[in-house]
């Protein structure tokens, strides 16, 4: 397989995963999607901007040992310095193939106070922007995947402003499904003029699905039918992620399911989801005018062409 990491400039599409509701698989989806895209040959940066640092915990990265999102925001490090690279042999943490990580930490809770003390014109909605510009300019990543927290924290709000794509995360439970209209409104607000009009809702991942539960199946059907994009396609990705206790077991080993149990049904679902994500991005890029185009995704090495093939 040719070395895809030496391409001169990668697209650096910023894709945030969010939903302002706790425990709806945001972190699990962000980590597994990053790993599935990495497996397929994409170079991915997984960026944890949650003060509860879920993605950092999944890979058992000790937050006190490294620069974190908070270090970047306070200027203690550049974004590049805070990147933990999967191919850094000296790193005492095992990261998945092609997936670099910027960890987070509890200290992020104090970001508002720290930044407003430093700069009286501090705008929380913009706190991630300089780092995103820096990371895109590196030209190193096909995707920068941001895992947001459940609160409307400065980093969550800023994620709406800096993202090209937003992916919603949901589980088939009443309280989660009830929060979907608010989540769609948050995206509509973020798209207002002067904010981030180019933000594109890429899709919704329905996860933790147990089809033996009739109510869960009913939620799946209702979400598919009711929430549609402008072209009438369902917002929900076709691939639904099943419930798998093996996900938690893998996290105990500092891994995603794709690494721990590559043949697991749910690992395959994440690979399928990664293909859908890429297909939707390619379809969206095709609708943009020339002046709106940024670098396109690099062609994949032949061995990994599957990522753009039909699911």
Give me the residues that bind ligand ATP (CB under 6 A), please: 22-28, 50, 52, 54, 149-150, 207-208, 241, 243-244, 247-248, 251
Residue 135 binding partner per list Mg ion, ligand ATP, none, with a CB distance cut-off of 5 to 8 Å that depends on partner kind: none
Cα–Cα distance for residue pair 270/199, rounded to 1 Å: 24
Kindly determine how many residues on this chain lie close enough to bind Mg ion according to the rule CB under 5 A: 3
Our CB check for ligand ATP shows the closer of 50 and 220 to be: 50
**What burial letters (b/e) apply to 241-260, b meaning 16+ CB within 10 Å?**
bebbeebeebbeebbbbbbb
Residue number closest to Mg ion, CB atom:
27
Binding residue for Mg ion (CB under 5 A) from 25, 27, 68, 105? 27
Residue 25 binding partner per list Mg ion, ligand ATP, none, with a CB distance cut-off of 5 to 8 Å that depends on partner kind: ligand ATP
From the CB of 261, what's the least distance to ligand ATP, in Å? 12
Q: Are 185 and 197 in contact (CB under 8 A)?
A: no
Residue 63 binding partner per list Mg ion, ligand ATP, none, with a CB distance cut-off of 5 to 8 Å that depends on partner kind: none
Our CB check for ligand ATP shows the closer of 4 and 269 to be: 269
From the CB of 8, what's the least distance to Mg ion, in Å? 34
Contacts 24+ apart (CB under 8 A), 106-110: 106/51, 106/52, 106/53, 106/63, 107/51, 107/68, 107/70, 108/49, 108/50, 108/51, 108/53, 108/68, 108/69, 108/70, 108/73, 108/153, 108/155, 109/51, 110/70
Binding residue for Mg ion (CB under 5 A) from 10, 26, 42, 157? 26
From the CB of 70, what's the least distance to ligand ATP, in Å? 17
**What burial letters (b/e) apply to 58-94, b meaning 16+ CB within 10 Å?**
bbebebeebbbbbbbbeeebebeebbbebeeeeeebe
List the beta bridge partners of residue 146: 16, 47
The 214-233 contact track toward Mg ion, x by CB under 5 A, reads: --------------------
Residue 144 binding partner per list Mg ion, ligand ATP, none, with a CB distance cut-off of 5 to 8 Å that depends on partner kind: none
Residue 126 binding partner per list ligand ATP, Mg ion, none, with a CB distance cut-off of 5 to 8 Å that depends on partner kind: none
From the CB of 210, what's the least distance to ligand ATP, in Å? 9
Q: Are 191 and 201 in contact (CB under 8 A)?
A: no
Selected range binding Mg ion among 49-57, 68-76, 244-252, 271-279, rule: CB under 5 A: 49-57
CA distances, 39 to each of 27, 33, 204 (Å)? 18, 10, 22
Sheet holding 99-102, edge to edge: 99-102, 44-48, 143-147, 13-18, 165-170, 200-206
Binding residue for Mg ion (CB under 5 A) from 54, 96, 154, 172? 54
From the CB of 139, what's the least distance to ligand ATP, in Å? 29
Q: Where do contacts with Mg ion occur on this chain (CB under 5 A)?
A: 26-27, 54
């Amino acid at each position: 397989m040719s070395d895809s990491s030496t391409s001169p400039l990668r697209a650096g599409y910023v894709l945030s995963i969010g939903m302002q509701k706790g425990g709806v698989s945001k972190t699990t989806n962000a980590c597994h999607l990053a790993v599935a895209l990495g497996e397929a040959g994409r170079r991915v940066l997984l960026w944890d901007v949650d003060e509860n640092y879920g993605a950092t915990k999944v890979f058992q990265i000790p937050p006190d040992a490294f620069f974190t999102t908070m270090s970047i925001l306070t200027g203690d490090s550049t974004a590049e310095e805070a990147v933990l690279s999967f191919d850094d042999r000296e790193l005492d943490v095992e990261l998945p193939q092609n997936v670099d990580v910027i960890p987070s930490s509890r200290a992020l809770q104090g970001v508002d106070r720290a930044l407003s003390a430093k700069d009286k014109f501090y705008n929380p909605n913009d706190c991630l922007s300089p780092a995103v510009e820096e990371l895109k300019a590196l030209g190193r990543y096909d995707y920068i995947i941001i895992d947001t927290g459940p609160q409307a924290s400065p980093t969550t709000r800023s994620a709406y402003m800096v993202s090209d794509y937003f992916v919603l995360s949901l589980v088939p439970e009443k309280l989660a499904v009830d929060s979907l209209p608010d989540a769609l409104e948050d995206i509509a607000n973020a798209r207002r003029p002067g904010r981030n009009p180019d933000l594109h809702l890429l899709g919704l991942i329905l996860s933790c699905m147990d089809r033996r539960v009739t109510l869960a199946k009913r939620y799946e059907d209702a979400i598919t039918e009711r929430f549609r994009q402008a072209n009438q396609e369902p917002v929900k990705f076709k691939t639904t992620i099943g419930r798998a206790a093996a996900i938690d077991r893998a996290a105990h080993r500092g891994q995603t399911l794709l690494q721990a149990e590559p043949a697991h049904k749910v690992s395959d679902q994440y690979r399928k989801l990664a293909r859908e994500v890429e297909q939707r991005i390619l379809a969206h890029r095709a609708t943009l005018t020339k002046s709106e185009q940024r670098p396109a995704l690099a062609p994949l090495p032949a061995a990994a062409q599957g990522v753009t093939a039909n699911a």
